[in-house]
A and B are shown apart, each in its own frame.
Chain A
Amino acid sequence: MAETSNTEGSVLVVGGGIAGMQAALDLVESGFYVYVADSAPAIGGHMAQLDKTFPTNDCAMCTEAPRLVDVANDLNIEVLTLTDVLAIEGEPGNFTVHLRKRARYVDEIRCTGCGDCIAKCPVKNLPDAFNLGIDNRTAIYKLYPQGVPNVAVIDAEHCLKLTKDKCGICERVCQAKAINYEAQDEVVTVHVGGVIVAGGYEMSESGTRSEYGHGRYANVITGLAFERYLSASGPTNGHVVRPSDQQTPKRIAFIQCVGSRDITSRGNGYCSQVCCMYSTKHAIIAKEHEKGVEATIFYIDLRAHGKGCENYYISAEKDYGVEFIRSMVPAVRENPADKSLTLAYLGGDGERIEREFDLVVLATAMEPSPGMAELARNLDLKLDDYGFIRTQETDPIATSREAIYAVGLSSGPKDIPDSVMQASAAAGRVGAIIASARGSRLVEKTYPPLEVIEGQEPRVGVFVCHCGINIAGVIDVEALAEYAKTLPGVVHSDHIMYSCSPDGLDTIRSAITEHKLNRVVVAACTPRTHEPLFQETLREAGINRYLFELANIRDQCSWVHSADEARATEKARDLIRSAIAKAALAEPLYTVPISNTQRCLVIGGGAAGMTAALTVAGQGYGVSLIERDAELGGHLRSIRTLLGGDAPQELLADLRRRVDEHPLVDVHLETTLKEISGFVGNFKSVLATNGSTTEIEHGTIIVAAGAKSYEPTEYLYGENARVVTQFQLEAGLAGGTLPIDDGSTVVMIQCVGNRTDERPYCGRVCCAQAVKNAIAIKEKHPRAVVHVLYRDLRVFGLYEQYYLAARKLGVIFTRYDDDDPPKVSAGDKLSVTVNDLVRGEPMHISADLLVLSVGVVADEAHEALGMQLKVPRTSDGFFLEAHVKLRPVDFATEGMFVCGLAHFPKMLGESIFQAQAAAGRALTTMSQEQLTASAVVAQVEPEMCKQCLACVRSCPYNVPKMTHMHYVQIEPAECQGCGICVAECPAKAIQLRRFTDAQIMAQAHAVMNET
């Protein structure tokens, strides 16, 4: 922790994609001010371009949009778009960073995002890069409709006014007076304690392997373009069409590893890690969209190493009928007549096969973003051979410069959850440097005292928004405002050009005071983006935020009924009447402060647990670390070497020393959790140590309880001393205790105990471990023969380069069929027989040592732990996070987090950043002196409760509890306000505040014009 008084309580996040946003939100919640600088005109990054996400098929925009809104609405996050880093000076804790903010030519404060300028811009034929050029955009445009900030930008290279001093239409149509053709680039200087680089990536477009004809053949597109075709908000509204004739393709081929695992054409010796799964997703969704579509995936190794991915792959093949062909397609040929495409490839028996497809989708490589080299130069960071920021396995988000962290794709290919984890990890790490300045830069607002409205008759004010011409172009807003005056309870009604613009909000504020309004209805756009803004306005005017209702007459009316103005206006009347009826019954609601014990319980003392404990303690909060074994270290104790050369045992020694020495970390060895009660901020636990018990109070829990190695029963393990596991080999190599010399033959068999019916998931780490140990043998004994027998070699991401290294050293990789595993018998030596699929005949190997690559399997003891904590586990026995993509270390229950092998098999580096992430997330809660319980919670009417348990059983957060009072109690501090219990309760004993039955019924009756 920097102790200097000039420590800055602020952080610069470079890049506003999903990782950058996660880092920003975690930091703000932990009490730090954040600048988010993004070179694009809107934040959101690549995730905004995606349709759905594997392996759950969740809509990408639906999960990302709430993050966008949170970033946009936070007073303590300043979003700097069109901005690049120029230079940095200073030291950790106190940097000065100079940024260049390019001219937008649109005033961000004045622009309301109405889109009138875009509708009138005469330059309409510019390829829309966000949609990969599938359709066109105008010279003044928005990057994408949901983008933040919701502000237009002028493309200076193509704007007629800026290039030829003609036109000027946008300035004339903009009623908000936001256009400024005179705008200039400016240099912005910020003072921050640390920097997080979340610089994203580029999907290689140009320079894609030319033999596939991308750019020449109309119907060869990239995977990212395919995402845009699939997306409902994309250029074809979710219809997949062939670019050549706009017809629906029936036969689609997906080619993997285009530019990845390819040192010849792109110099990319790495695997892009996500393509096998996103192509599988593409195939599944294409089949869901259109009946009769045939989808074929051509691949080298099918890499389904992520959580839930192997099952996704199996389901694609078995349930959806996606065809997987293991063959690297050499070239694509276009048939000039109908623009269909012929692929020639080698089949399983080595025969040449030709097949015709309507559309070919290339899984192109993820490469460093174009600005990365300059950014690294300006921040003085070291890059790796491929141009990603260089990091280390044992310190996976640290860069070559202190207090600057690299997250997400900045440091190499990874999927969304890993990127999000790294972002939270960076928030946890950087917070330690600037903890002494926590809160110092936060902007806090002061509000006037609240008006007491309890007991008053409703005095409703109605404001109908024109939204430029978005609403007023279809609906008669003036008539609507007049109509609202006739409705019960309404004492004031007006119409406003842009209700969300600063002057629009002023109008609302003064009307509240002037007309003594105690309820406000705004008829405008969607609560998803605008409700917090209007609620804030109410609070600024001295009335409770919950006395507000939004009638969505734009997205749900003028936009969808633009062809029928009269009926649209009629529907708008219904919507307003309905909102007023609900508002009239609104009651002021109050959030409740609850106490917060700023201490964390970490369960498990392996690499993940120790890292999590040190990250929490690093920010100045106490930790109780419990470990059931007699010593710390967990799985890390059995890791002797690492790909890349880092020394794991030195890491272990260092972690142990730091944990032992840290005054804020209490270590309890041979200790388990005996009992736990309470909720976020207020847990009470009983720890059991060798028969004695200790009680502790804590506010958060991090589960880092690890996993086990699979104990094989296959291949004579335990019967023959020449059969060992990779871990035993690793120990033997380190200790020189195994009889391996230059004359030895070593055989490794992959997937022992994993990817089976019993454990249908990939062990994730075993392929890299085999490669690592094979290299170690060959380096020590170059003449030793090492065979690796595998199904799919899954050395993903940057680990791929070691697969290549192993092959260069002469390690022999032989694939065996999923249904035809090698056979082993013992004699003088071990005899291993494998059906060599390339030669089409059995290969007999006489082996001195057989090494079984065993996976990581869940620990049965965690079933009880899961029950104690009331947190779910997957069918494979690993703990299940709240959301696979965007909440990868949170449990659904507030205040509980997960990391390390307890979550899923992972590499050491992955465990470390996930542990830092769990700590980073826990710190967002722990750094609050008090927590705030939401006002919108479920409330039980005790006399009506029949104790039927429907709520207890249906609540996804385990909040309702039976009390000795013979009714269910719902703790407001824990309730998430989802409303499920309200719907389930057969006695109607539960009401959700702000959405009471009376309010919903009033709304329903009003919309149908009943009273």
Chain B
Amino acid sequence: MIVAEQKPIGQVLDMIEPFEKILVAGCATCVTVCSTGGEKEVGILASALRLACAARGLKKSFDEITLTRQCDPEFIEPIKEFASQHDAVVSMACGVGVHFMAEHLPPMPVFPAVNTVFIGANPELGVWVERCAMCGDCILDKTGGICPIAGCAKTMLNGPCGGSNEGMCEVDPETPGAWARIVERMKQLGTLDKLDEIQPPKDWSTSRDGGPRKMIREDLKL
């Protein structure tokens, strides 16, 4: 799931400075589940912005809405008219949502209120961890189910590097090195010999290096 975190409120205040009627728009999918941009957070951010503006003597009004998903045009369609009654939209969705709102609403500024940080898991309340870097060519079969692209600071394909210290990463001694974990896991699985095979340089064209990605399924397309 996409994990996002809220921007400092000062940044949001700067973005909306020239505008009076603001719509704060949440998204009821990923950012709700990671407690960043769902209905509750929309209410909190809108209230905080109202208080901040009142304290600065700024005359602004804030409306609130939470869409089922900001990444599907069908959910944006019904709020178009309501949105157009405002001068600007502050979106609490991930970058995709901000983008899609800007693309599909009538021409008006759409500002991001959150930073999209990674796609990850939520092992316990209040903790999120990155597990996949979306490289577009999964190699988890070769590394015991632990990703060296997402898990290693250097995205090394043949590790560990010399900076690994008692299994911990040199970038952050609190972080277990992905390669130490890979070796441990593959020992456990009895497949350590697979690591003898040297991995050739990865084809990064399936990742961001190949430019913006697009996927088309002809079988589904109408």
Contacts and interface: CB of A to CB of B under 8 A. Distances in A.
Interface of A: 944, 946-950, 953-954, 984-988
The 10 closest A-B pairs by CB, nearest first: A948-B33, A986-B38, A953-B125, A986-B35, A988-B39, A986-B40, A946-B32, A986-B32, A987-B38, A987-B32
Contacts, number: 39
A946 B29 contact: yes
Given A946-B38, A950-B35, A987 B124 contact: no
B28 interface: yes
Interface string B23-40: 000001100111110111
SS of A interface (majority): loop
Interface in B168-189: none
Given A948-B32, A986-B35, 6 more contacts: A946-B28, A948-B33, A949-B125, A987-B39, A987-B40, A988-B43
A950 B39 contact: no
Contacts of A948: 32-35, 122
B62 to A, nearest CB: 15
Given A946-B29, A946-B33, A988 B40 contact: yes
B145 to A, nearest CB: 23
A957 to B, nearest CB: 15
Contacts of A953: 124-125
28 contacts: A944-B39, A946-B28, A946-B29, A946-B32, A946-B33, A946-B38, A947-B33, A948-B32, A948-B34, A948-B35, A948-B122, A949-B122, A950-B125, A953-B124, A954-B125, A984-B125, A985-B40, A986-B32, A986-B33, A986-B34, A986-B35, A987-B32, A987-B38, A987-B39, A987-B40, A988-B38, A988-B39, A988-B43
A954 B33 CA distance: 14
B87 interface: no
Interface in B20-61: 28-29, 32-36, 38-41, 43
**Interface-central residue, A947, A954, A986, by most chain B CB under 10 Å:** A986
A948 B36 CA distance: 12
Contacts of A987: 28, 32, 38-40
A948 B3 CA distance: 12
Nearest to B33: A948
Nearest to A947: B33
A504 B125 CA distance: 49
Nearest to A983: B40
Interface in B86-136: 122, 124-125
Contacts of B34: 948, 986
Nearest to A953: B125
Contacts of A954: 125
A986 B125 contact: no
A938 to B, nearest CB: 15
A984 B40 CA distance: 9
A625 to B, nearest CB: 36
Nearest to B31: A986
Contacts of B125: 949-950, 953-954, 984
A946 B38 CA distance: 10
Contacts of A984: 125
A618 B28 CA distance: 56
Contacts of A985: 40
Contacts of B43: 988
A944 B40 CA distance: 12
A990 to B, nearest CB: 10
Contacts of B124: 953
Contacts of A947: 33
Contacts of A944: 39
A950 B40 CA distance: 13
Nearest to B42: A988
A987 to B, nearest CB: 5
Contacts of B39: 944, 986-988
A595 B41 CA distance: 40
